[in-house]
Chains A and B, each alone.
Chain A
Amino acid sequence: MSDLTALTAVELQAALSAGETSAVEVTRAHLDRIAAEDGALGAYLFVDDDAALARAAEIDASGAAGTGLAGIPVALKDVFVTEGVPTTSGSRILEGWRPPYSATVATRLQEAGTVLLGKTNMDEFAMGSSTENSAYRPTRNPWDHDRIPGGSSGGSSAAVAGRLAPLALGTDTGGSIRQPAAVTGLVGHKPTYGSVSRYGLIAFSSSLDQAGPMARTVMDAALLHEAIGGHDPRDSTSIDAPVPTVVEAARRGATGDLAGLRVGVVRELGGEGAREGYEQGVLDRFAEAVALLEAAGAEVREVTCPSFGLALPAYYLIAPSEASSNLARFEGMRFGIRVGDDGSRDVDEVMALTREQGFGPEVKRRIILGTYALSAGYYDAYYGQAQKVRTLITRDFTAAFDGGVDVLVSPTSPTVAWSIGARVDDPLAMYAADLCTLPASLAGVPAISVPCGLSDGLPVGLQVMAPALADDRCYRVAAAVEAAQGAPLTDRLAERAA
């Protein structure tokens, strides 16, 4: 085989089952590429070559390679707890921690026979949209090393776009799968809240966090989605329902036929009168994508969701509030680093010092924001009010879906990847990157980002949102968009490199 890292998971599956290659070869090809490229890219925080190769050999020996995802390498965002494998959530405070257990999704991937390549970089505790908030190092966008790969799942997006892994898992709290997928030319899906287990996912905002797939094609994402989805009794918020048949939906969408599908274009997300902050190139690619949907037979209309404009302030109260509580357990007593325990300080001082030195500035900002929002006397005005807005946003979705559209579409991100450092001193500009992705997060509905072309040589994503548990619709539409474009967008990145 020529270059195994150029193949999609579907292609690897075929090559493995035909006996044209082995899990060891596939794994070694990716490890070699990581060794060659990752010094510059910074996608991974941890790679264990020996463990990965041993695991691949085990899959080869079992004869399972090529069935399902067996023998196919994956990368996990470092937010997923992996037994015996360092897990940091991008934070100094967890440096050196090797968890005694694994996340349900990690276990499911293990059971599916995948080979874990390593743990990918991320904004600390998934707080950020550029991966610049990683306590360890920035990650670069494979399309342009001076630009951000999106965030918080920026290590995963860079790894898959840069062909340092065929598949990766990310997590999405306010857009952390979709936005990095959009700015690196990938397919990234945030499943319906509760449809993929959160057990072993280091919590940022419990009521919003969802794990999901990132891949170069819609079908690859669908395969990964089906491997991780489904009910988990260890997660109380897990929905006891069958996994949506997303592989079937991707296949159906790939025919390019969307006849009868009713698509709503959200006016509040880049439509008439709501274009401030949106780049023209993004709006152009979006308009072309909508035209594409119409050409495929979809019936397109504009839909108004008046409360979507309140998503940003509501999100930046709810997520930090929950985070302020979720991150309280990081106090240096049971795991991770402990600072200042020299016998001269009491436990409160040691906890404070550990947190002072263990957390980065963005994490501190959000803990303080959330602590304030939950304080006696402010709760109703902030957290309580934000929850009401959340209900209104959910009602907007319900009204749209009950009102005759099957899916809603918008740009995934108002802009293409920006330059590293451009927004680090301006949190509000950073937060604005999530404008389009926040409504689906707050409502818990599924949303996918699928590439829809380039603007100034940088990828643009189309977001497709569907009702809860109708993740299949996202995949169907995304596959049709992908089919209409002929080839995965990342192929152009490979051509450019060659």
Chain B
Amino acid sequence: MSETRSETLVEFDDVLTRYEPVIGLETHVELGTESKMFCGCATTFGAEPNTQTCPVCLGLPGSLPVANAAAVESTIRIGLALGCRIASWSRFARKNYFYPDIPKGFQTSQYDEPLCTAGHLDVEVDGETYRVEIERVHLEEDTGKNLHVGGATGRIHGADHSLVDFNRAGIPLVEIVTRPVAGAGAKAPEVARAYVTELREIIQALGASDVRMEQGSLRCDVNTSLAPIGSLEWGTRTETKNVNSLRSVERSVRYEMRRQAAVLDAGGRVVQETRHFHEDTGSTSSGRSKEEATDYRYFPEPDLVPLAPDAEWIEKLAAGLPELPAARRRRLQEEWGLSATELTWLVNAGALGLVEQTVAAGATPADARKWWLGELARRANDAGVELADLAVTPAQVAELTALVAEGTINDKLARQALDGVLAGEGDPRAVVEARGLAVMGESDELVAAVEAAIAGAPDVVEKVRGGKVQALGALVGAVMKTTRGQADAATVRRMLEERVR
């Protein structure tokens, strides 16, 4: 059932005149535990293939799993942060299917008795709040990774042979499944993105995972369907995989809406299938059809005992949750006196935490915001990196603002000091010293520069003396130029005034 290469697409705005989109998200998060889900192997990313394995995660005959208590705890904390009900009795189940990357011939997962159910996550898009209902949060193990060797694309087709790396096999994986989200209309793609963004921040705040989409520690399957407006029944959904960035989440929904609308407009039916997202083109292509999906023959895992988290423990975990992103945003907005729009800018720029840390290091909120959204955002943009990846720490930014505030440097010199910091020359104060960037005091050099300016522009001096005070600006500029910006403009102005009058 594979489609032609160039799909017919309907204009996005046009889709919404006839169809209502429904989305759903299944998010997999690799927990950042020291050891794997059912054995003691390390979970370090990027290690040599098959160096983090043992009889258990290789599925050798006779080996048995033991559940990682830290992973269970993380899952419960994620559930609590999403307002879920935590099960007092929960079981693992075997999901049976054959694939070379699952060593036991089944994945140990959870089926009808998950750890957490019935939660929700509120997300905001353009000032509007959308409630995403969470159906379940469950715990399972990751699979190994197939490496296809010899083909041009690194994919299975055309490869000479395949290798399996089991380092990833058995890493604890939390799956968070939403209920279908309807009613978002044109905002559906953005709601999908906002949901994953918010979920990612929550998990980050919990310290449960490093949630790096590009490394696969957060992976997202995006379900999309369309129903004719006014229809009581939902349409057939597709499940898009390989959605590896927040931007792709939004793009994949947008693309599927446009593609499915074209199929429906032409009188066709949407095939229930897995689709593959392509980052380069922003399109999806058909994967395996779900209609011929395997029967996983789930049954309770007899090698593991049921999980029975007691109420007292759950209460303790709930009490120990950190401040969650939404509450934190509300608090910071209030503390810093920001408008909703200003807050959104900060959040969208990925600067909230950086500003908060900069303020914590002594900067005023206004200064911190100005630096991160201004100069630093420009630098990040020029370098094509995220703000957080710039080679400057919030503490260094705070130090820059302090140097400006105390008059040691001015804004222009501060930018030069930042150059030094980014070049790895050390902290701002050290750079200022090493590069000799400090603002000039009333030194002989400055006096000489001021007097030279006066001597060099007698006509301007006449104008000032004649009452055109604003003409003084030209003299200030001249002095700043000779001092290469290192003088303090206010000081220069005062010195000029004293001499011209």
Contact = CB atoms under 8 A, between A and B. Distances in A.
B166 to A, nearest CB: 9
Contact of B67 (A236, A327, A330, A331): A236
B295 interface: yes
Given A207-B302, A347-B162, A234 B64 contact: yes
Interface stretch (B100-108, B180-188, B275-283): B100-108
A321 B298 CA distance: 11
B338 interface: no
Interface stretch (A127-135, A270-278, A372-380, A450-458): A372-380
A334 interface: yes
A237 interface: yes
Listed residue (B61, B65, B295) with the most chain A CB atoms within 10 angstroms of its CB: B61
Nearest to A106: B62
Given A89-B61, A201-B62, A348-B98, A375 B304 contact: no
A194 to B, nearest CB: 9
A205 B65 CA distance: 15
B69 to A, nearest CB: 12
Listed residue (B62, B96, B103) with the most chain A CB atoms within 10 angstroms of its CB: B62
B55 interface: yes
B304 A81 contact: no
A206 B61 CA distance: 12
B478 interface: no
A374 B61 contact: no
A202 B62 contact: yes
Nearest to A197: B64
A202 B60 CA distance: 9
A94 interface: yes
A329 interface: yes
Interface string B365-407: 0000000000000000000000000000000000000000000
Given A200-B62, A202-B61, A383 B305 contact: no
A371 interface: yes
Nearest to B301: A206
Given A198-B64, A333-B164, A374-B297, A328 B106 contact: yes
A374 B96 contact: yes
Given A237-B303, A371-B297, A331 B66 contact: no
B59 interface: yes
Given A322-B302, A379-B299, A234 B164 contact: no
B63 interface: yes
Interface string B278-316: 000000000000000001011100111100000000000
Interface string B57-78: 0111111111100000000000
Given A206-B302, A375-B295, A329 B64 contact: no
Interface string A229-242: 00001111100000
B94 interface: yes
Nearest to A209: B302
A99 B61 CA distance: 9
A236 B66 contact: yes
Contact of B66 (A103, A234, A324): A234
A203 interface: yes
Nearest to A80: B62
Contacts of A89: 61
Nearest to A371: B297
Interface range, B side: 20 to 34
A199 B302 contact: no
Given A235-B64, A236-B65, A334-B103, A329 B59 contact: yes
B62 A329 contact: no
A335 interface: yes
A331 B98 CA distance: 9
A374 B94 CA distance: 11
B305 A236 contact: yes
Nearest to A238: B64
A307 to B, nearest CB: 21
Nearest to B305: A236
A389 to B, nearest CB: 16
A100 B61 contact: no
A94 B61 contact: yes
A103 B303 contact: no
A199 to B, nearest CB: 5
Given A199-B62, A374-B299, A325 B94 contact: yes
A349 to B, nearest CB: 12
Interface in B71-130: 94, 96, 98, 100, 103-106
Contacts of A207: 302
Contact of A375 (B164, B297, B302): B297
A322 B304 CA distance: 13
Contacts of A292: none
Nearest to A79: B62
Contacts of B59: 329, 334
A305 B103 CA distance: 42
Contacts of B295: 375-376
B447 to A, nearest CB: 81
Contact of A329 (B65, B103, B299, B304): B103
Given A237-B303, A328-B105, A335 B60 contact: yes
Contacts of B58: 334
12 contacts: A80-B62, A99-B60, A207-B302, A322-B299, A325-B105, A328-B96, A330-B61, A348-B98, A371-B297, A374-B298, A375-B295, A379-B299
**Nearest 6 Cβ contacts at the A-B interface:** A328-B105, A206-B302, A374-B297, A207-B302, A81-B62, A200-B62
Given A87-B61, A325-B94, 9 more contacts: A199-B62, A199-B63, A328-B104, A330-B61, A331-B98, A331-B100, A347-B100, A347-B162, A351-B98
